[in-house]
Amino acid sequence: MVAREAEAAAHRAAIAGHALPPLTGSARQVAWADTIRAERLARLLRSHPTCIDDLATRVDAKWWIDHRQAPDDALLRSTILA
C-alpha cells in the first residue's frame, strides 16, 4: 500500500503546476476519479504537455472512471471533439 501511495503522490506532484478544477460526482466517484485523473494527466504531461489544460476541463468523475483504461490517444481525441 505504501508504494501505491508514493506513486499517487508522485503523480500529484507532476501535475501540481496545473490548476485542476474540482471533480463532480459522489464522494466515492470523486475520490477514485481524482486518482485516475492524476495518473493519466501525469503520464500525458510527459508525452503531450500542451494537451493537459484541455483534458483538465473534464470535471465529471464518471467520465474519468469510464475512460480509465482508454488509450492516451483516445483521451486526447475525446477532448478535441468535445
- Give the residue extent of every domain in the chain: 2-81
pLDDT beyond 70 at 67: yes
Question: How far is residue 9 from each of residues 5, 6, 74, measured CA to CA in Å?
Answer: 6, 5, 25
Spell 3-39 as b/e; 16+ CB within 10 A means b: eeeeeeeebbebbeeeebeebebeeebbebbbbbbbb
- pTM over 0.75, yes/no: yes
Which tens digits make up the pLDDT trace of 20-62? Answer: 899 999 999 999 999 999 899 888 888 877 777 788 889 999 9
